[in-house]
A = this chain, B = another copy of it.
């Protein structure tokens, strides 16, 4: 089995004006679709981060992909990473600093190769990762402070899965009460059994008040998470930790850096989760030594693919760390890959993050994947179990070319509604 075609297609799709510590989501989110076609005519697909630089990185390794057997992944990884970077922390840190290009590039191709191999071998991708330990994967509601509107050119009007959600998700939500309404609509539509609040947007007192309102609205058994995205200082994190103890399932990236997180961890009983201070294997030795984090929010898009993520899971078991899953704005191909990974990892015991309910557009045949009681059923079809809709791919690529965005920049977007706004960290 050999790869005879390799296609890298940048796309854009509607994204609502969601707020984060980094600013404001633009009307379009950018992603990249990777296709590898085998000499048997079977196509494997994957989805990763977007923008020109990501696509250029993927284009740059074309010669390493063409002619390769899709199961020869370690050799591909070795070819994409300079060999010096593979042997220890130093080299890896260098590359991690450079936008984490090698693990992201390799990971995107790896997922497409596993989809191709799975289809060719008649096996779902999770079976190539050790098999499934669960048939359903729980996801968490992802709540955002936001401005009015659904972003881009398309809302949820045509999405039958979003009945009850279509109207609410377009509303402005810039205080605790609006967030409770958003949470209720999201839970009613998708059945999520845990709630994550994207914080670091409003002053901490309002965000902590939002958590209290969510606790009141959903009762004592709904797991709650808050993610200030490192917008808070150590002192602010500790001050609000006192208010949040007993209220949270975990406290995600209240402050920045391994040292800062370790300072907070020492002085709160809240488990600290991260997708910011520990985002690569090179970060782990120091994070573990300092005690910066109790739960790693993995993400196969930047940790180096699905097999690397299974390896990360072993590290979490070995060092007694928890494991859950981070998400960016994404479509159904990423969601399917996340679901296969979560199916294969015994210690992925927290509901995974996903932006998916915020995306009305879809690029897979059959439209959006459907949550049931907040969970997705792990596909049993060969490969990822989803098929690329080429008409949608073409449309979203045209949208990419037309929208004018070439990389994500939440700061510039925020300046459009608040001139002079600057991304500072910590803000509070």
Which of A's residues lie within 8 Å of B, judged by CB?
69, 71-78, 86-89, 121, 123, 127-133, 281-282, 284-285, 288-289, 307-308, 310-311, 314-315, 317-320, 344-347
Contacts and interface: CB of A to CB of B under 8 A. Distances in A.
Nearest to A320: B88
Contact of A131 (B74, B320, B346): B74
Contacts of A281: 314, 317-318
Contacts of A86: 317, 346-347
A282 B78 CA distance: 28
A34 B185 CA distance: 54
A416 B242 CA distance: 69
Nearest to A310: B311
Nearest to A79: B133
Closest 10 CB pairs of A and B: A72-B131, A88-B320, A74-B130, A311-B314, A71-B127, A281-B318, A73-B130, A74-B133, A311-B311, A121-B121
Contacts of A344: 74
B315 A315 contact: yes
Nearest to A72: B131
Contact of A78 (B71, B133, B288): B133
Nearest to A280: B318
Contacts of A314: 281, 308, 311, 314-315
Contacts of A128: 71, 128
A71 B311 contact: no
A127 B87 contact: no
B317 A123 contact: no
A317 B310 CA distance: 15
A72 B74 CA distance: 22
Contacts of A284: 318-319
B75 A132 contact: yes
Nearest to A127: B71
Given A121-B121, A346-B86, A319 B74 contact: no
A403 B129 CA distance: 42
Given A74-B131, A74-B132, A130-B73, A318 B315 contact: yes
Contacts of A288: 285
Contacts of A320: 87-89, 285
A121 B69 CA distance: 14
Given A282-B318, A318-B285, A72 B311 contact: no
A131 B75 contact: yes
A380 to B, nearest CB: 12
B311 A132 contact: no
B319 A285 contact: yes
A320 B310 CA distance: 19
Contacts of A76: 131
Contact of A72 (B127, B282, B346): B127
Nearest to A90: B320
12 contacts: A74-B131, A78-B346, A86-B317, A87-B320, A87-B347, A88-B317, A130-B307, A281-B317, A284-B319, A311-B314, A314-B314, A314-B315
A44 to B, nearest CB: 15
Contacts of A318: 89, 281-282, 284-285, 315
A75 B345 CA distance: 9
A76 B347 CA distance: 14
A307 B314 CA distance: 10
A74 to B, nearest CB: 4
A126 to B, nearest CB: 9
B87 A133 contact: no
Contacts of A133: 74-75, 78
Contacts of A307: 130
A75 B284 CA distance: 27
A289 to B, nearest CB: 8
A284 to B, nearest CB: 6
Contacts of A88: 317, 320
